[in-house]
Amino acid sequence: MEQLVMEAMLSMHSIARSHDVFQLTREIPLTDVARRYGLELRRAGSRWLTRCPFHQDNNPSLVLFPDGRWRCFGCQAHGDATDLVSRLFNLRPIEAARQICRDFGLPVNNRPLSSETRRKTEEAARQREIEQAFKADLERIRQRLAMLHRCIFRSLRTPEDYKRLSRLVHAQPLLEYVLDELTSRDPARQVEAWRYARRWFPWVV
């Protein structure tokens, strides 16, 4: 009987500690958590917008609300700060909550992360860094090629212009194709367009 009581007390203590760690994460502004893990936010009134990291999101569709909740109106993912970190790093909610507390210097039980959890967290962080760097380069290339496209149209006014810029005129169909593919929702097509841009327009990108 005494053993059962002790087990029940330990279980209740564990539940209380878990509740505490989730409560602690709610004290941190969701915007701070989102920025801490790499999301770029843009204010829209009382809300914040960002590109959803859980699907191919060309236009910001993830909304952070003042009450500490978030929802993506593209893939319908939603939740609070713990859910966000849980999905970002493929962690169990309790692991995600502890991760947030550690990263923000909040008191939490000092039980070290398991090697598997640490590996998953570090791997997910590296993957997000790679994805963000690629997206930034993709957008930079798209902007430069779009500017080139506009310049070509503005420069072609006379037959002499077409002759002088014949190289660009002949490259225009490929340029338009690459621009279209860079804005595709298919990541594989975006990667292929990125490669095309670097191969055929190295003097621009």
User: What's the pLDDT score for residue 113?
Assistant: 58
Q: Are residues 87 and 158 in the same domain?
A: no
Residue 109, pLDDT score: 61
Residue whose structure tokens are 């500690």 = 17
| Residue 184 structural domain | 126-200
Q: Could you tell me if 133 and 182 lie in one domain? A: yes
d(CA 51, CA 95): 24
pLDDT at 7 (0 to 100): 40
118: in domain: no
Q: Which residues pair with 72 in a beta bridge?
A: 62
Residue 141 has a pLDDT of: 93
Residue 29 lies in a domain: yes
Question: Does residue 51 sit in the same domain as residue 139?
Answer: no
Are 12 and 103 contained in the same domain?
yes
Distance CA 18, CA 101 (A): 12
94 with 193, same domain: the answer is no
**CA-to-CA distance for 52 and 43, rounded, in angstroms?**
15
User: Do 66 and 30 meet the contact criterion of CB atoms below 8 Å apart?
Assistant: no
In a domain, 205, yes or no: no
Q: What is the pLDDT along the chain (205 residues), one digit of tens a residue?
A: 444 333 433 333 333 344 478 888 988 999 999 999 989 999 999 999 999 999 988 889 999 999 999 999 999 999 999 999 999 998 999 999 999 998 888 877 655 556 776 677 677 777 778 887 888 899 899 999 998 888 777 777 777 877 777 777 777 788 888 999 998 878 889 999 999 899 888 877 7
Strand order in the sheet with 42-44: 42-44, 47-50, 62-64, 70-72, 78-79
Whether residue 34 is contained in a domain is answered as yes
If asked whether residues 7 and 63 sit together in one domain, one would say yes
Same domain, 55 and 134: no
Q: Is the domain of 90 the same as that of 143?
A: no
Residue type, 101: C
Number of domains into which the chain is organized: 2
